[in-house]
Amino acid sequence: MSEALVGLQAAPQFEPKIVAFFCNWCTYLAADLAGTSRIKYAPNTRVVRVMCSGRIDPQFVLEAFARGADGVLIGGCHPGDCHYQEGNYKCLRRFHLLQRMLGTLGLEEARFRLEWISAAEADRLKLAVNDMVAKVRALGPLRWSVPAENLAEEVAAS
Amino acid sequence: MAEKQISGDVRIGVYVCHCGTNIAGIIDVKEVAEYAATLPGVVVSREYKYMCSDPGQELIKQDIRDHNLTRIVVAACSPTLHEATFRKATERGGLNPYYFQMVNVREQDSWVHVDKRAATDKALDLVRAAVRRVPKHRPLERREVAIHPDVLVVGGGIAGIHAALTLANAGKKVYLVERQPTIGGHMAQFDKTFPTLDCAACILTPKMTAVKAHPNITLWTLAEVAQIDGYVGNFTVRVRHKPRFVIEGLCVGCMECIEACVFKQAKVPDEFNAGLSKRKPVYLSFPQAVPLVPVIDPETCIEFKTGKCKKTCIEVCGERNAIDLNMKERLEEIQVGTIILATGFKTFDPHRLPYYGYGTYPNVYTALEVERLVNASGPTGGEIVLRDGKKPKTVGIVHCIGSRDENTNRWCSRVCCMYSLKLAHLIKEKTEAEIYNFYIDMRTPGKTFEEFYNRIGEEGVKFVRGKVADVYPADSDGQLILRVEDTLLSRVRKIPVDMVVLAVGLEGQPDAQDVRRMFNITCSNEGWFLERHPKLAPVNTFTDGIFLAGCCQGPKDIPDSVAQAGAAASEALALIDRGSIELEPNTAYIVEEECSGCKTCIPLCPYTAITFNADTKKAFINEVLCKGCGTCVASCPSGTIRQNLFEDEEIVEEIQGVLAYV
Amino acid sequence: MKPKVAFYWCASCGGCEEAVVDLAESILDVAAAIDIVLWPVATDFKRHHIEAMADGEIAAAIINGAIRSTEQEEWAHLLRRKAQVVISFGACAQLGGVPGLANLSDRQAILQTVYSGTPSTLNPEGVTPQPASRSNGHDLHLPVLFDTVRRLDEIISVDYSIPGCPPTPKLLADAVGALLTGKLPEKGAVLAPDRALCDECPRKDTRPDKLLVAEFKRPHQVLIEDDKCIMAQGLLCLGPATRSGCESRCIQGNMPCTGCFGPTSRVRDYGAKALSAVASLADSNDDAQIRKILEAIPDPVGTFYRYSLPAALLQRKRMTPHA
């Protein structure tokens, strides 16, 4: 199916919501370039702009999952190309440990993704987004089930 | 949906731009504006055709006054385009410019999505996120830093030379650093330039001597930038001077040392002549070299290799004593405010395409080699003489070698069609040979380029529209067969020629990645330095204070290189003459009484902006060095380091906003 | 009239009771100044005594332990009604504590493991505790275990927290003193300093300015020197991420901090922040090498959320429906 039709599925189909943290100098610019080039991709991402992928606090990732995101995508500069020298390496270090921890907590790997996308790689952005959306769509809604919300249910069920 | 509450000091104005049909064609801007009006804190919510226009900005200023707005949100194009515009409008309306948040609903929404409902939903989410974020914004002040008036130009080709002269003529002090022993770059190697057939040396050498003579230009050849620190207006650059072994100040340019060298015959492949001739270990690149001082090559000089040379060069130099074989590499530090990179290009290496026979058959040449052949001061005195001594009667010029090619480089190198026409003309002029140009398309867009093409056609040069697939020797008489599909005749032809000229394309320098990392700029995928915006900012980079000129930014001809060099010089001048620049206030800061002195942050800053104060036993961030990446902010285990403009609570509001979490 | 104070324990280990007892001689001063109306470990007051009181009659209810059963939930609501001030005492009440790690599982799986799954258990009929049953003509009721362990502040509004596993006697004494003199800070405060442990750590000066970690070690692998920063010895010490106020007891016991005092007020999710700080210090930029260094931390959840899983943004492992 052409990428232009991604997202144009029959009405009741689940559409994942993906919070994307893009670094200002690489991935955010690649997303802008996709725009100026009119490259079409799935409309499921919601971009939160940061200056560097090194700014991404694991708390942000957890906040996104806890508040309803079905997936979280981090976009940063390629290793060696960080506008601030090394921020992306710190992001990489945190990503590995965080992904392991989230795995223990039951999060499927496909829902939390790190991509290195440079400012010129609009096409790569499109492919990464479309691929992630397809994979997360197949996994279904995350629905972490924040316990405070179903305390009453738990009490009633007991 | 949460109830609308207007707390006293948060009064938000939301503006949704149509951008003509760019946004409004896909996103229901009316719905977005109406939705925004229902959000907590929003007092005014409008949609407008072109927010960046004067009336659009006036709208913001007027509303701030009329409705006592304290925050502004604009949903429009990318912040990289107009965040500054709207911050100014906010400021002119009487608010701190950082009480503004921009929402990208064009480049990252209407332009990339097809489904109108999905695109509008996305815009709703993004606007809601901004409306939640902006009340957390604090009034920030921009830092002003002075711009050092001196300029560094890296690369002494035509682009670097022109930029240096422009700046020097404007009264600025320029350091021109060139890694070769002479300036001039590739242009010095050309014979004539298209389309005017000006002699390259004739138009270049006056500029080269002007550089040498200019009181405002410090020319350093055999020099490279080794390290660079700092930021716009305040760069500290360490330049590595490689030893020439001849003292510039003492040498009078008599060249007797070269004459007297113990090498009676030149033995070293001459780089300037593209390896077609030989030079001695002590040599001058070309007769009009600037500086006009020989250089000794320690790799091939006998004294360096064995220590047992008669050193006739020193002897003949006599009491001038200009030769110093003990010269050492040295580092020198300079302060500059702006930098122009003009590091040029390299030609494609046709060894990568073995079926063209380069390196296998002696009479296959690159275009650059042929430039040297036709040049009067070249290896053959301007005669077209082949490697086997013959003069060609037929010549095939093959276009697009290493260009427009999926297997090597996809781009068009822009100059090859024109230089192929030029070479066709020059070879024909000197040899009356039959010339074929094998092309895919003829790209002659510049001023009088098309007319030049016609002229060459009228001179009897033959054009075959087809990419040569194979070069192989004819059975006898030393000719080479070019096999090509003549697409206009729809026939495969085998054309025998005496000489094959490969129109090699342009590529980024082999060390482009190292250089760009050193200067903290980016490269495109193809290896050219990346400009800030392909149309609107072709000489700026994403690093303030560093500009690009010439082929290092992408293949181009001499007129365009010179134009770009002038543009880069003027960008630098604009900064210098303004005298100062305001830096974005997105720096990190430590709230001192909260710091536990755990030192987690200290090793993480690549700019060493964070130090440990041994007296207070707390970490300290030097605001001037901080570039605002936020890495330390994310790492601080007790949440003590914050980042202006990107506070935790601001980002969390944005996250909750896009997810509609209340 | 002496102010009435109630102590109660929910899902906890009894260590917080020990902290009260550890007031030692000062306990007599405390006992003299207040009227203890409830303290299951040491006194005989019953539920109906508390139910009989007027709302707000109790000056302060000091509650430790997490909430994971219906009985604990009922008690929490009861004490909230009857007390003017409710204080979360200890890591379990404030953050969920070690019992919070049960959030990696759920009721069915836990009961299954405990009553059938362990190797030494013989329970062929698969008997598990029943909320209601009849025996010898009597109706018997048992509290029901929740799937999820919760913090006290998820059940009732909590006025103050005293962190620690357990809190120090000093923190308790200070809190009671403040209560008696009416000098309590703003509601919602955590009654301990708002800076990380390194601030008070006796080994602070021995930590190098630029410490990056090429290899993480675990306590059983290292003979820990007792006068050097524990992190500098390659061990994972969570002091930088953990609130101070504990008098560095573990450090003084020559062991690394495991984070029982929880985060500072500026951190929303303790485990995430501690993870961020620790991972950032892994000394490599190579993908494979980074993974290797971090693999030396075998159990990220247990390490970073040891005391605070129910306080995490995600609060528990994802619930999956049982077959």
Whether the predicted pLDDT of A2 surpasses 50? no
- A24 lies in a domain? yes
If asked whether residues B53 and B93 sit together in one domain, one would say yes
Q: For chain C, what is the mean pLDDT?
A: 93
User: Residue A8: pLDDT band by 50, 70, 90 thresholds?
Assistant: low
Is this structure's pTM higher than 0.95?
no
The pair of structure tokens assigned to B80 is: 């990289």
- A8 lies in a domain? no
- Pick from C199, C240, C244: CB nearest B600: C240
Question: What does B5-47 look like in DSSP terms, one character per residue?
Answer: ---TT--EEEEEE-TTTTTTTTS-HHHHHHHHHTSTTEEEEEE
Cβ partners under 8 Å of residue B338, min gap 6? B147, B151, B152, B232, B233, B235, B545, B546, B547, B572, B575, B576
- B247 lies in a domain? no
CATH code at B218? Answer: 3.50.50.60
- Pick from B524, B586, B655: CB nearest A60: B655
How far apart are alpha carbons A43 and A17 in whole angstroms? 9
Residue A156 confidence (pLDDT): 60
Residue A152 confidence (pLDDT): 63
User: Residue C230: pLDDT band by 50, 70, 90 thresholds?
Assistant: very high
- Mean pLDDT for the stretch of residues C109-123: 93
**Contact map slice: B 294-353 vs A, CB within 8 A:** none
CB contact under 8 A, C241 and B631: no
**Cβ-contact B361, B598 below 8 angstroms:** no
Give Cα A81 to chain centroid, integer Å.
21
- Pick from C150, C294, C300: CB nearest A147: C150
Question: Based on the structure, what is the number of domains in chain B?
Answer: 5
Question: Based on the structure, what is the number of domains in chain A?
Answer: 1
If asked whether residues B479 and B404 sit together in one domain, one would say yes
Whether the predicted pLDDT of C322 surpasses 60? no
How far apart are alpha carbons B73 and B83 in whole angstroms? 10
Residue B536 confidence (pLDDT): 85
Residues B131-189 pLDDT 10s: 999 999 999 999 899 999 999 999 999 999 999 999 999 999 999 999 999 999 999 99
B97 closest CA partner among B128, B43, B61, B66: B61
Cβ partners under 8 Å of residue B473, min gap 6? B361, B479, B480, B481
Residues B122-141 pLDDT 10s: 999 999 999 999 999 999 99
Question: Which of C101, C106, C314, C320 has the highest number of chain A CBs within 10 A, making it the mutation to test binding with A?
Answer: C314
Three-class SS state of B443: coil
Out of B163-177, B348-362, C118-132, which region has the weakest mean confidence (pLDDT)?
C118-132
Three-class SS state of B611: strand
- B355 lies in a domain? yes
- A63 lies in a domain? yes
**Contact map slice: A 86-145 vs B, CB within 8 A:** 86-87, 90, 94, 118-121
Which of B141, B173, B196 terminates a domain? The answer is B141
- B250 lies in a domain? no
Residues linked to residue B589 through DSSP beta bridges, in sequence order: B642
Residue B634 touches chain A, beta carbons under 8 Å: yes
Chain C residues close to A77, C-beta within 8 Å: none
- A90 lies in a domain? yes
**Cβ-contact B336, B237 below 8 angstroms:** yes
Cα nearest neighbour of B633 on chain A: A55
Residue ranges making up the domain that contains B609: 588-643
- Write the CA distances from B343 to B154, B537, B548, integer angstroms: 6, 19, 9
**Cβ-contact B191, B379 below 8 angstroms:** no
- B658 lies in a domain? no
- Mean pLDDT for the stretch of residues B303-330: 93
Residue C187 confidence (pLDDT): 92
- Mean pLDDT for the stretch of residues B505-516: 94
Residues B567-598 pLDDT 10s: 999 999 999 999 998 888 999 999 999 999 99
CATH code at A146? Answer: 3.40.50
Which of B534, B563, B580 terminates a domain? The answer is B580
If asked whether residues B195 and B234 sit together in one domain, one would say yes
User: Residue B1: pLDDT band by 50, 70, 90 thresholds?
Assistant: very low
- Write the CA distances from A137 to A6, A41, A140, B117, integer angstroms: 11, 15, 5, 18
Q: For chain B, what is the mean pLDDT?
A: 94
Residue A1 confidence (pLDDT): 43
- Mean pLDDT for the stretch of residues C23-51: 87
Whether the predicted pLDDT of B3 surpasses 50? no
- Write the CA distances from C209 to B247, C212, C294, integer angstroms: 46, 10, 22
- B268 lies in a domain? yes
Residues A115-144 pLDDT 10s: 999 998 999 999 999 999 999 999 999 988
Residue A151 confidence (pLDDT): 64
Residue A143 confidence (pLDDT): 84
Residues B451-487 pLDDT 10s: 999 999 999 999 999 999 999 999 877 899 999 999 9
User: Which one has a higher pLDDT value, A85 or A102?
Assistant: A102
Residues B39-76 pLDDT 10s: 999 999 999 999 999 999 999 999 999 999 999 999 99
- Mean pLDDT for the stretch of residues B354-375: 95
How far apart are alpha carbons B657 and B130 in whole angstroms? 7
If asked whether residues B128 and B155 sit together in one domain, one would say no
If asked whether residues B44 and B84 sit together in one domain, one would say yes
If asked whether residues B516 and B384 sit together in one domain, one would say no
Residue C183 touches chain B, beta carbons under 8 Å: no
Which of B141, B176, B204 terminates a domain? The answer is B141
- Write the CA distances from B350 to B358, B417, B502, B504, C71, integer angstroms: 6, 17, 8, 7, 83
Residues B209-231 pLDDT 10s: 999 999 999 999 999 999 998 88
Whether the predicted pLDDT of A153 surpasses 60? yes
How far apart are alpha carbons C18 and C23 in whole angstroms? 9
If asked whether residues B537 and B524 sit together in one domain, one would say yes
- B68 lies in a domain? yes
If asked whether residues B360 and B442 sit together in one domain, one would say yes
Against chain B, the chains showing at least 3 CB pairs within 8 Å are: A, C
Residue B475 confidence (pLDDT): 85
Whether the predicted pLDDT of C21 surpasses 50? yes
Smallest CA–CA distance, residue C298 to chain A, in Å, is 10
CB contact under 8 A, C198 and B631: no
The pair of structure tokens assigned to B274 is: 């593209």
If asked whether residues B606 and B550 sit together in one domain, one would say no
If asked whether residues B127 and B235 sit together in one domain, one would say no
Question: What does B621-647 look like in DSSP terms, one character per residue?
Answer: E-TTT-----HHHHH-TTS-EEETTS-
Residue ranges making up the domain that contains A118: 18-157
C272 closest CA partner among A61, A90, B641: A61
B184 closest CA partner among B214, B207, B216: B207
- The percent of residues in chain B predicted with pLDDT above 70, rounded, is 99
If asked whether residues B476 and B369 sit together in one domain, one would say yes
- The percent of residues in chain B predicted with pLDDT above 90, rounded, is 89
Residues C246-286 pLDDT 10s: 999 999 999 999 999 999 999 999 999 999 999 999 999 99
- Pick from A89, A104, A147: CB nearest C301: A104
- A3 lies in a domain? no
Chain A residues at the C interface, defined by Cβ less than 8 Å, are 57-59, 61-63, 65-66, 79, 86, 89-90, 92-94, 96-98, 100-101, 104-107, 144-148, 151, 154-155, 158
- A130 lies in a domain? yes
- B648 lies in a domain? no
- Mean pLDDT for the stretch of residues A26-38: 95
If asked whether residues B78 and B109 sit together in one domain, one would say yes
- Indicate the DSSP class of residue B242: P
- B104 lies in a domain? yes
